[in-house]
Chain A
């Protein structure tokens, strides 16, 4: 009996877990809770792209990809539990999909030798590879976003922000507070007045904040929100008749779900994006053919082409390209997390790679190095068309202001290194 039970348990374990030769990319997703509406399309995109590689190409370099999903509900403790419960399955890298979870995983993943990829979220100063050996936040981080956003307002204002007033409205937590140092530095450099208005979680009631906006009359508003906070903010901005073209959200506040509830009132609202929008890409035709139509999709396929689905696809694309590089560098298809880290540190994204993957002009070209784990910090501006009900990029991808961000990253990462006794590398 005991032998039978052991055999059964072993069988169940083998069936549930990935085959040892698989390339394992755990997905720390949130399909439940107050942020599920944003978490589901992202997780679907992430899973569907890897499924496409398995179905169409037989995996990456002949190795099938496994994407074990673990539900975090956007909760930091659960996220850490997910990491602990999946890391021994041979995880090549983690995409924690939460700034809070990222902060907790940085020391753990570094100790375990597993790289973290936090595209467009997480600890901004992790861009400094001399300190953060296992954290990568290419192609862009929050400080880049703030810089690109301010540059856009500067263009709109005719080349100078002197005497203008920019307000940051933000999720009152670590994520929302990230851009404040950059905006303070930019305020000093560009001569605009800066103030910040926090919004407490969940952000369903924002009357006080928008009355304050009405009284202080900022010329431009930058917005760092997530979840229901986004929909309410767009609605309230429309209610007080704030010019929507002067209201701009970070990429986590710029999806279809954020603007649709406000209807025509959201017309003209802008967002900063680090990848392209829409579904007019060959890769989506392939996903429909090989994944959705074969019943292998993570969702029902209706999210294809939406901003957050595209972001999930893009994250999976970046991970798979790094895995290909690791295979090429080691000459072996069965790579380890250490090989993956090394490949991420030498990563280069080119238009040729994007076109080959069916994603032409989908994101910026960039390169990663031992010193620079964050790429060039390129982002573009998108604007919501409420009539056509679609986002459109209205600018090209442009780089952030490295002269402002560089010293801030140096200062923050040096402080982290001093606190944690980390010696600089890449010398």
Chain B
């Protein structure tokens, strides 16, 4: 088999895995947009905040230590304990629920009925505010995140493919775990929205929030719930990306990877986020592999958007998005 073809298969598989990681970020955007029509610019920063909070809790870091020390002249930085990863994840999830309540109570409750652009602007403000709070709360240092996820080459795949092709494929164990977790997450979200009372309420609000209100669905509760779920998704994305690079400010930039996925998959579809992620992941990796070396490389950032634009031209609502029909 030609060498280029075998390498192409390896690139394709890695593209699929990268796509899952992009889809994890895009999922958070979809959930909030679907339920409230808000394009949440702060989703990437939420992943940063969640990951920083997780590491802070695990390491027993004192939140706002710098501020406390500056005001009271103290010198406290750590509580002196370490919290197991599982407990820390649960506590962080609780923090994200609290965050959802605050966002709903103090921002979006006051903006009900406003134009989508106003709501979008509010999320921009929220993003920068949260960025500052994250820094102030947990400081800007790069923190190692270790919740026990495996990393590095998967030797079984390496050996198996070497036996077939005479070339061992590189697949990262972390990417395999991310794929499994993403699959569980999507399955859980689908079951939740289809079969639970709260999930049906969420879908009702998404379809027509005024009609949902008229039959007794609490808009407030549904929106807090959706922001909480999006916060949990942000936590999962933050764990996956933070394990790779350490938890640091740049985590907030992973949102840039989710935008072409949303353009392609549609803003309102959970399967769309997954399929969109896979197409973008595979597309950008194969393009870089086949064309990149001829034009100087580093094509992935812009090619993902080109790919999304091509889809957008032919299907503006995205692959799985709801077609917008306005009757006059």
B141, B257, B285, most chain A CB atoms within 10 A? B141
B214 → A minimal CB distance (Å) = 45
Minimal Cβ-Cβ distance residue in A for B69: A300
**Once the chains are docked, how many angstroms separate the CA of A202 from the CA of B284?**
16
B246 touches A231 (CB 8 A): yes
Question: A198 to chain B: which residues have CB within 8 Å?
Answer: 296-298
B7 touches A215 (CB 8 A): yes
Contact of A200 among B141, B248, B300 (CB under 8 A): B300
Q: Is the interface of B mostly helix, strand, loop or mixed?
A: helix
Question: A36 to chain B: which residues have CB within 8 Å?
Answer: 135, 140, 249
Which of A3-11, A235-243, A333-341 lines the interface with chain B?
A: A235-243
**CB-defined interface of A293-306 with B at 8 Å, one 1/0 digit per residue?**
00100001000000
**Once the chains are docked, how many angstroms separate the CA of A207 from the CA of B285?**
8
**Once the chains are docked, how many angstroms separate the CA of A111 from the CA of B135?**
38
A40 touches B140 (CB 8 A): yes
B146 touches A204 (CB 8 A): no
**Once the chains are docked, how many angstroms separate the CA of A36 from the CA of B241?**
19
B11 touches A211 (CB 8 A): yes
Minimal Cβ-Cβ distance residue in A for B288: A208
Given the interface pairs A239-B172, A240-B153, A300-B66, the reply to whether A204 lies near B14 with Cβ below 8 Å is no
A336 → B minimal CB distance (Å) = 36
B289 touches A235 (CB 8 A): no
Minimal Cβ-Cβ distance residue in B for A41: B141
Residues facing B in A249-270 (CB within 8 A) are 257, 260-261, 263, 265
Given the interface pairs A211-B10, A240-B153, the reply to whether A204 lies near B297 with Cβ below 8 Å is no
A312 at the interface (CB under 8 A from B): no
A58 at the interface (CB under 8 A from B): no
- Tally of chain B residues near chain A (CB < 8 A): 47
Given the interface pairs A32-B135, A205-B257, A231-B246, the reply to whether A257 lies near B141 with Cβ below 8 Å is yes
A40 → B minimal CB distance (Å) = 6
B26 at the interface (CB under 8 A from A): no
A408 at the interface (CB under 8 A from B): no
**Once the chains are docked, how many angstroms separate the CA of A212 from the CA of B7?**
9
Minimal Cβ-Cβ distance residue in A for B145: A261
**Once the chains are docked, how many angstroms separate the CA of A40 from the CA of B142?**
11
Contact of A204 among B69, B75, B245, B296 (CB under 8 A): B245
Given the interface pairs A211-B10, A260-B144, the reply to whether A238 lies near B152 with Cβ below 8 Å is yes
**Once the chains are docked, how many angstroms separate the CA of A7 from the CA of B241?**
54
**Once the chains are docked, how many angstroms separate the CA of A215 from the CA of B8?**
11
A155 → B minimal CB distance (Å) = 30
**Once the chains are docked, how many angstroms separate the CA of A242 from the CA of B212?**
57
Question: A215 to chain B: which residues have CB within 8 Å?
Answer: 7
Given the interface pairs A239-B152, A261-B144, the reply to whether A34 lies near B300 with Cβ below 8 Å is no
- Tally of chain A residues near chain B (CB < 8 A): 40
A170 → B minimal CB distance (Å) = 9
B30 at the interface (CB under 8 A from A): no
**Once the chains are docked, how many angstroms separate the CA of A200 from the CA of B253?**
13
**Once the chains are docked, how many angstroms separate the CA of A208 from the CA of B286?**
9
B36 → A minimal CB distance (Å) = 28
Given the interface pairs A37-B142, A208-B11, the reply to whether A202 lies near B170 with Cβ below 8 Å is no
B18 at the interface (CB under 8 A from A): yes
**Once the chains are docked, how many angstroms separate the CA of A33 from the CA of B134?**
12
A425 at the interface (CB under 8 A from B): no
Question: A127 to chain B: which residues have CB within 8 Å?
Answer: none
Minimal Cβ-Cβ distance residue in B for A263: B144
Question: A201 to chain B: which residues have CB within 8 Å?
Answer: 301
**Once the chains are docked, how many angstroms separate the CA of A240 from the CA of B168?**
11
Question: B244 to chain A: which residues have CB within 8 Å?
Answer: 204, 232, 235
A231 touches B170 (CB 8 A): no
Contact of B285 among A208, A240, A241 (CB under 8 A): A208
B151 at the interface (CB under 8 A from A): yes
Minimal Cβ-Cβ distance residue in A for B65: A300
A54 at the interface (CB under 8 A from B): no
**Once the chains are docked, how many angstroms separate the CA of A34 from the CA of B254?**
12
A300 touches B77 (CB 8 A): yes
A261 touches B249 (CB 8 A): no
B interface with A by C-beta (< 8 Å): 7, 10-11, 14, 17-18, 21, 66, 69, 73, 75, 77, 135, 140-146, 151-153, 170, 172, 241, 244-246, 248-251, 253-254, 257, 284-285, 288-289, 292-293, 296-298, 300-301
A interface with B by C-beta (< 8 Å): 31-34, 36-37, 40, 172, 197-202, 204-205, 207-212, 214-215, 227-228, 231-232, 235, 238-241, 257, 260-261, 263, 265, 295, 300
Q: Which 8 A-B pairs have the closest CB atoms?
A: A261-B246, A228-B250, A198-B298, A36-B140, A208-B288, A200-B298, A172-B298, A257-B142
Q: What are 25 A-B interface contacts by the 8 Å CB criterion?
A: A34-B248, A34-B250, A40-B140, A172-B297, A198-B297, A199-B298, A200-B298, A204-B253, A207-B285, A208-B288, A209-B297, A212-B293, A214-B170, A227-B250, A228-B246, A228-B250, A231-B245, A232-B244, A241-B152, A257-B142, A260-B142, A261-B142, A261-B143, A261-B144, A300-B69
